[in-house]
Amino acid sequence: MEIVVVGLNHRSAPVDVRERLAFTPAKLDFALRALRGVPGLAEGVIVSTCNRVEIYGTSQTAGEAISGIESFLHFYHGVDQRVEREMYRYAEPRSIEHLFRVVSGLDSMVFGETEVLGQVKQAYERARACGNTGKALNQFFQRAFQVAKKIRSQTQITRGSISVGSVSVELAEKIFGDLAASQVMIIGAGDTGEKTARSLQSRGAHAVLVANRTHDRAEALAAELGGRAVRFDRLNEEMVHVDIVISSVTVPHYIVTREKVEPLMAARQNRPLFLIDLGVPRNIEPAVNELDNVYLYNIDDLQEIANANMRARQEDLARCNELIAANVEKFRQWLRRLPPQSQQVIHPASEPLNTSR
């Protein structure tokens, strides 16, 4: 009995190819049932996300199963053979190692991210509920989830924010703790400022003010964020009440200065003020950082924190690889001991899919 995987991901194929081979949630059960008709395939799981489409299976003959899965993908999606150069095909031990790397976030577009673990768990549970998994794949996926847990707990691979928005949220939580009572102001209606504000909202910040030189655009963005638009010439008055200011406008001079912030802090009774300057050129005078309870970070500061966190994650890659290699061998030993009666199709397809080309 051998584990195989055939698939493509963000590294091997562009998005238009991944779209053509993706399995929609509404039709996934049908696809799983059809997968049972693949010659040589005993069990099968389909993983389909925006960044990858992969089919994992077990077989007595790896080559036959891999060829059958390729044919299934072509037939099911009605695609020609030109996508074959974007696919990868792994037998053991590479197939086992691949899933362990995927669920651990080592094969993701964002190195060390954890979302893919939940996506693979859902894919496995869907296949199990359809009767597509048996003892081998059940153990395989459970072992993969255990490996991911070990890597998260024993390495730094998932720790530290690695985007400007998530670093901003992390810093805000260090300053304010719970963000539920925090008010946020966006100066400028650009994409980066909006994303950062949404990141803060996702962690509890609820009140959002939007100021922009074009007031109509401020009103439009405020409506999208469930906030309130304010006039650009009323920034100082509004800043008395807010906790976090995100500024991202293109101007030839500072729009927030020490001269303006110093009396503002007195009016705020020295409550902490977190200033995020995403502008290039900078929007906020660096000297404001000299004031008590004012915390200023520009885009370079935030990017350097993100880069340092990424370096810390990658420094633990060798340890991750060691953990994966050890668990690949342990699982292969278990698989070799699996009795033949456990290696049969759990629920054969009543109407096998014709995968001949």
Q: Is-contact 335 136, C-beta < 8 A?
A: yes
User: Do the beta carbons of residue 302 and residue 164 sit within 8 Å?
Assistant: yes
Q: What is the torsional sign of CA 236, 241, 242, 243?
A: positive
Residue 130 is a catalytic residue: no
155 Cβ neighbours under 8 A, 6+ residues apart: 316, 319, 320, 323
For 269, the token pair is: 């009774």
List 11, 15, 27, 50, catalytic entry: 50
Dihedral over Cα of 59, 129, 13, 196: its sign: negative
| 242 within 8 A of 200, measured Cβ to Cβ | no
Q: Which residue has the tokens 């290699």?
A: 325
Side-chain-side CA neighbours of 217 within 13 Å: the count stands at 13
In Å, what is the CA distance from 253 to each residue of 215, 230, 299?
20, 21, 17
Alpha carbon distance 272, 166 (integer Å): 20
| Active site members | 50
